[in-house]
Amino acid sequence: MNNFIEFDTSSLWAALPEIFLLSAIVVILLLDLFLDKRFKQVTYYLTQLSLLISGLLAFNLIGHPQTIIFSGSFVLDNMASVFKVFMMGATMVAMVYSRHYLRAHSLFRGEYFVLVLLSVLGMMVMISGYSLLTLYLGLEILSLSLYALIAIARERADAIEAALKYFVLGAIASGLLLYGMSMIYGISGSLNISDIASFASSANLASRETLIINFGLVFLVIGIAFKLGAVPFHMWVPDVYQGAPTSVTLLISTAPKIAAVAMLVRILVDGLGSMHAYWSDLFMVLSILSIALGSVVALMQTNIKRLLAYSTISHVGFIMLGFATGTLTGYGAATFYMLVYVLMSLAAFGVIILLNKKGFEVDQISDFKGLSKHSPWFALMMLIIMLSMAGVPPLVGFYSKFFILQQVISAGFITIAVIAVIFAVISAYYYLQIIKSMYFDEADKDITIHASIDMRLILSINAILILAVGLFPDFWMTLALSLF
């Protein structure tokens, strides 16, 4: 790493999806300036198009052997490509849902889409980052766009408050993360993941070196835990989920989780995998705390966005539990869980957004009352989503939990599995509450649905996928396992 970065243009193809997206962002940003108000839809379609193309470019790179470019600070491997494809897909779906929400609440502005694209770019950099600095760069691009996105509803006090909270706490978390990175850099002499990996796994580490790595590790884990929203670094999650415009909440709760998991894999598995013994206990504790707190506190919520925030915290606990096992299959199980979670979360927020209409913000569980009478189809979709989140077979949410628990038991942590299961039982209650209010309560206000056909169609496909992947999980599990 001592030589200057050589700019070798022949290897640029490995970063083609990122490069394309960056150019697209610039074009869209400029174009949007000159677009007449009547043609604002163009920005939306261009956004979808550039996400699609960028996703196809990433898809095209699946199967390439590992390629490391930019002097070891950027990696292209199967995990990167697969994650990027999923993230693009998730963002595209999120954009379809967002459009409905933005129109209903007069937030339809060009900068929304540009900021989303920027955050996507940040996530891509995080997924492919192979040095601590690149990873941090990606994280900051993502975070800054998200802060701005939350605050896009300028006249809403709670949105501004959420943005500021997220910003302040995010800054602290970034500080901690950087501090950890500097420790690792100081002791290993390199920012590159591969150099760090070979340093950490060398047999003759002095005990003081181990200690410093260990301390750096704690800071890194905290930075990642904050991004994932694991207890005790979860405080921002409920407030931000509740305060942000629902379409932004939807975005925050889906794609960035993929990026955060990628960063986790890069730093902790690829880089410090040999120090696994040090971070797995920590993960165990954080994940059990998350599952417990997420499951129990959600019982008290009446705001559905807040409820889903706590549900996210408990899902994150399960994901971290998979990583805590320290086996490749465990990592695969965690990745599978993460993809499943993204699928479910998209659909859940999709249904919430679907019920929004002009001047009517849906954020209470009671807003779902009597949905089965007015729209039996979407009530059924929500039923599938909620049962899947509760982990009822044969929906996909069951497999993801089962797979994690199986790995946890195989790794010998039976007590942990029992605790996780007990809280999973408790969490079934609040998912059932939503089902109850949809099916057994009478509607107390008008809940007719006004949504375009693409929104209805994509949402239906999204929810049916939860059932379909549950019926045929083979392919997805194999895919998740093949990444490690």
Partner 1 sequence: MENIYLTIALSPLVGAILAGFFGTILGKTATHMLTILGVLISTVLSLYVFNYHVLEQGEIFNQNLYTWMQINNLNVSVGFLIDNLTAVMLVVVSFVSLMVHIYTIGYMHDDTGYTRFFSYISLFTFSMFMLVMSNNFMQLFFGWEAVGLVSYLLIGFWHHKESAVQANLKAFLVNRVGDFGFLLGIGLVLAFSGSLDYMEVFSSLGKTMNQQLWGLDLITIICLLLFVGAMGKSAQVPLHVWLPGSMEGPTPISALIHAATMVTAGIFMVSRMSPMFELSDVALTVVMIVGAMTALFMGLLGIVQNDIKKVVAYSTLSQLGYMTVALGVSAYSVAIFHLMTHAFFKALLFLGAGSVIVAMHHQQDIRKMGGLRKKMPITYWTALIGTLALIGFPGFAGFYSKDMIIEAVHFSTLPYASWVYVAVVVGVFITAFYSLRMFFLVFHGESRVDAHTAKHLHESTPSMTFPLIALAIPSLLIGYFTIEPMLFNGWLDNAITVVPSHTSMAELKHEFFSAASMISHAIQTLPFWMMIGGVASAWVFSIYRTQWADWAQKKCHRTNYVLESLYGFDRFNDIVFVSGVKKLGNLLYKVSDVGLIDKVLVNGSAKLIGFIGKIVRPIQTGYVYHYAFFMIVSLLIILTWALFAGDNPLLEL
Q: What is the DSSP letter of 38?
A: G
Residue nearer to partner 1 on the CB measure, 89 or 294: 294
| Candidate residues 107, 121, 176, 177; the one interacting with partner 1 per rule CB under 8 A | 176
Of 56-115, which residues contact partner 1 (CB under 8 A)?
Answer: none
Tell me the C-alpha to C-alpha distance, in Å, between residue 172 and each of 28, 137, 233, 450. 32, 16, 11, 42
CB 463 → partner 1: shortest distance, Å?
18
| Candidate residues 93, 260, 298, 344; the one interacting with partner 1 per rule CB under 8 A | 298
| Candidate residues 201, 302, 366, 478; the one interacting with partner 1 per rule CB under 8 A | 478
CB 416 → partner 1: shortest distance, Å?
12
Residue nearer to partner 1 on the CB measure, 69 or 150: 150
Residue nearer to partner 1 on the CB measure, 121 or 307: 307
Cα distance between residue 455 and residue 442, in whole Å: 26
| Candidate residues 157, 203, 204, 358; the one interacting with partner 1 per rule CB under 8 A | 157
Stretch that binds partner 1, among 52-60, 182-190, 209-217, 461-469 (CB under 8 A): 209-217
How many residues bind partner 1, per CB under 8 A? Answer: 68
Stretch that binds partner 1, among 62-70, 71-79, 81-89, 219-227 (CB under 8 A): 219-227
Query: Phi and psi dihedrals of 75, rounded to 5?
Result: -125, 140
Residue nearer to partner 1 on the CB measure, 144 or 205: 205
CB 430 → partner 1: shortest distance, Å?
9
**For residue 328, what is the enclosing H or E element?**
helix 328-355
Cα distance between residue 453 and residue 104, in whole Å: 15
Q: Are 170 and 136 in contact (CB under 8 A)?
A: no
Please, what is the angle between helix 474-482 and helix 328-355, to 10°? Answer: 120
CB 405 → partner 1: shortest distance, Å?
6
Stretch that binds partner 1, among 23-31, 58-66, 114-122, 273-281 (CB under 8 A): 273-281
Query: Phi and psi dihedrals of 74, rounded to 5?
Result: -140, 130
| Candidate residues 90, 297, 321, 434; the one interacting with partner 1 per rule CB under 8 A | 297
Of 241-260, which residues contact partner 1 (CB under 8 A)?
Answer: none
Stretch that binds partner 1, among 165-173, 181-189, 262-270, 377-385 (CB under 8 A): 165-173
Tell me the C-alpha to C-alpha distance, in Å, between residue 224 and each of 23, 57, 119, 201, 368. 29, 28, 17, 22, 34
Closest CA to 431 of 395, 470, 384, 364: 384
| Candidate residues 1, 27, 211, 457; the one interacting with partner 1 per rule CB under 8 A | 211
Cα distance between residue 391 and residue 397, in whole Å: 5
CB 164 → partner 1: shortest distance, Å?
6
Cα distance between residue 261 and residue 77, in whole Å: 15
Closest CA to 223 of 264, 176, 183, 266: 176
Of 308-367, which residues contact partner 1 (CB under 8 A)?
Answer: 329
| Candidate residues 281, 444, 452, 461; the one interacting with partner 1 per rule CB under 8 A | 281
CA 210 to the chain's CA centroid: 31
For residue 303, state whether it binds partner 1 (rule: CB under 8 A): no
Residue nearer to partner 1 on the CB measure, 130 or 167: 167
Q: Are 240 and 161 in contact (CB under 8 A)?
A: no
Q: For residue 414, what are its two tokens?
A: 């039976």
Stretch that binds partner 1, among 63-71, 72-80, 207-215, 352-360 (CB under 8 A): 207-215
Closest CA to 481 of 407, 391, 389: 407
CB 298 → partner 1: shortest distance, Å?
8
CA 73 to the chain's CA centroid: 23
Residue nearer to partner 1 on the CB measure, 50 or 388: 388
Residue nearer to partner 1 on the CB measure, 117 or 163: 163
Q: How many CB atoms neighbour CB 430 within 10 A?
A: 22
- Sign, CA dihedral 319-86-352-440, equals negative
Of 386-445, which residues contact partner 1 (CB under 8 A)?
Answer: 392-394, 402, 405-406, 409-410, 414-415, 417-418, 421-422, 424-426, 428-429, 432, 436, 439-440
Cα distance between residue 87 and residue 431, in whole Å: 26
CB 270 → partner 1: shortest distance, Å?
21
Tell me the C-alpha to C-alpha distance, in Å, between residue 340 and each of 197, 364, 403, 407, 474. 30, 25, 12, 17, 13
Q: Which residues bind partner 1 (CB under 8 A)?
A: 157, 160-161, 164-165, 168-169, 172-173, 176, 207-208, 210-211, 214-215, 217-219, 221-222, 226, 231-233, 235-236, 238, 277-278, 281-282, 293, 296-300, 329, 392-394, 402, 405-406, 409-410, 414-415, 417-418, 421-422, 424-426, 428-429, 432, 436, 439-440, 472-474, 477-478, 481
